[in-house]
């Protein structure tokens, strides 16, 4: 039986949850994207920090085609060699001992939150259930994830808030200390560099301090590196910039698959001690097709030449964008972020700026605090970065001219 409605159906039959740009895309190569009319764009969205090696990277295309002729999916009732190989790569490169593979970042977050609470239950402390996130955070769209972030626009209208989830104010050190010392606290979850929250980077000494406090009180520390990880800041993971700041659990996705759906929840053996047979699972997570692409993406991104390119070109961006801010203080208020997770806090409404940039054939992403984000592929060249800056300058000129009329 269907439910009667007075709302007209969408003409494209797609559920109306996306505020899409008026751009129908057809193909891509590297940092370039072409629409169905043949118009070329310089892409600094990269699938929202997902196409870490750009569109249709030759190595990723090659392994995808090879694996497609072998095996796609078998489920996790069998051993999948590609899973074990990628898990070994991830654990060798990080604090982690074990990995659970998912299809997305929000699934990795769900696994992390369950793992944190299960850890305390396994340790004889089932009362430790409180999860603390931070204002401005984003952890995905599943129910626990939106409650962990607490953004009102994402939780309203879905019934009661999940119990045991609260948010701390970024920089309120006394409240953070009190939350960690709370005897019912299970975990703290934080993005080392916030993406949707406006490209806010947590200072490195704060990450170190957060690690020390959580360790002192037996609280699980979860890093959400879905957007800021996998080379985006110029190190393999954003927390690598801080001293003695490794977490107990970390979530990665987006660039891990280079555009193919791959996510992972990484954990130390101690943190994962409650994750025993049957307490969690996934039908598609870690499938052979995803693992083949994930391995290739990881190997390319983890190369020192890739990470060095991010650091070098990010330095150029920082210099040029700071100069742009100085020349257009009526348009750009601040340049923030880290590496290739760059935020420009604006005077004009960010979505208006995005549309004007699109007129210059430059694609940029939105963000909180009235920011736009630049999230280019990690192999962006200096020449391409120069073109980005030129297009941004033209956009600023248009904004200024419109304001003067």
DSSP-derived pairing of the beta strands 40-43 and 32-35: antiparallel
**Residues labelled catalytic:** 138, 224, 254
Q: Could you give the CA distance from residue 126 to residue 142 in angstroms, rounded to a whole number?
A: 24
Element (H, E) at 253: none
Contacts of 205 (CB under 8 A, 6+ apart): 242
What is d(CA 140, CA 104) in angstroms, rounded to the nearest whole number? 9
d(CA 310, CA 340): 7
Helix (H, G, I), strand (E, B) or coil at 264: strand
The crossing angle, in degrees rounded to 10, of helices 288-301 and 58-68 is: 160
Give just the sign of the alpha carbon dihedral 130, 136, 139, 143: positive
Element (H, E) at 221: strand 220-224
Token pair 């999230």: residue:
375
352: helix, coil or strand? helix
As a whole number of angstroms, the distance between CA 335 and CA 323 comes to 10
CA distance 358 to 355: 5
> Of the candidates 259, 284, 288, 263, which has an alpha carbon nearest to the alpha carbon of residue 69?
288
Cα separation, 391 vs 359, in Å, equals 9
Burial label, 15 (beta-carbon count in 10 A; 0-12, 13-18, 19+): exposed
Give the separation between CA 95 and CA 348, rounded to whole angstroms. 42
Half-sphere exposure of 81 (CA within 13 A, CB side): 2
**Phi, psi for 387 (deg, rounded to 5):** -65, -40
CB 188 within 8 A of CB 173: no
């Amino acid at each position: 039986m269907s439910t009667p409605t007075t709302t007209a159906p969408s003409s494209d039959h797609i559920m109306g949850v996306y505020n899409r740009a008026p751009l129908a895309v057809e193909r891509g190569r590297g940092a370039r994207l072409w629409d169905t009319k043949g118009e070329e764009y310089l892409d600094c969205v990269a699938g929202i920090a997902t196409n870490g090696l750009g569109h249709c990277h030759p190595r990723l295309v090659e392994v995808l085609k090879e694996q497609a002729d072998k095996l796609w999916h078998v489920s996790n009732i069998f051993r999948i060699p590609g899973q074990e190989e990628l898990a070994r790569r991830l654990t060798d490169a990080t604090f982690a001992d074990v990995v659970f593979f998912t299809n997305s970042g929000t699934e990795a977050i769900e696994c992390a939150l369950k793992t944190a609470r299960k850890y305390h239950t396994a340790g004889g402390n089932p009362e430790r259930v409180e999860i603390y996130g931070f204002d401005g955070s984003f952890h995905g769209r599943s129910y626990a994830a939106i409650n962990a972030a607490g953004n009102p626009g994402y939780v309203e209208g879905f019934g009661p808030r999940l119990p045991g989830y609260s948010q701390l104010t970024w920089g309120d050190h006394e409240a953070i200390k009190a939350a960690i010392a709370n005897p019912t606290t299970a975990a703290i979850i934080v993005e080392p560099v916030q993406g949707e929250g406006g490209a806010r980077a947590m200072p490195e000494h704060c990450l170190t301090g957060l690690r020390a406090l959580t360790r002192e009180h037996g609280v699980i520390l979860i890093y959400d590196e879905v957007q800021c990880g996998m080379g985006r800041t110029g190190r393999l993971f954003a927390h690598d910039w801080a001293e003695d700041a490794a977490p107990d659990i970390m979530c990665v996705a987006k660039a891990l698959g280079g555009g193919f759906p791959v996510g992972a929840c990484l954990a130390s053996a101690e943190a994962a001690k409650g994750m025993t047979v049957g307490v969690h699972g996934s039908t598609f997570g870690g499938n052979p097709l995803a693992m083949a692409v994930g391995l290739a993406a990881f190997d390319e991104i983890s190369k020192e030449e890739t990470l060095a390119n991010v650091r070098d070109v990010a330095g150029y961006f920082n210099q040029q964008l700071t100069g742009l801010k100085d020349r257009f203080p009526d348009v750009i208020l601040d340049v923030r972020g880290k590496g290739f997770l760059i935020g420009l806090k604006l005077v004009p409404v960010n979505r208006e700026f995005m549309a004007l940039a699109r007129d210059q054939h430059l694609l940029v992403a939105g963000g909180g605090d009235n920011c736009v984000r630049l999230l280019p592929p990690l192999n962006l060249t200096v020449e391409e970065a120069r073109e980005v800056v030129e297009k941004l300058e033209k956009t600023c000129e248009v904004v200024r001219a419109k304001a003067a009329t």
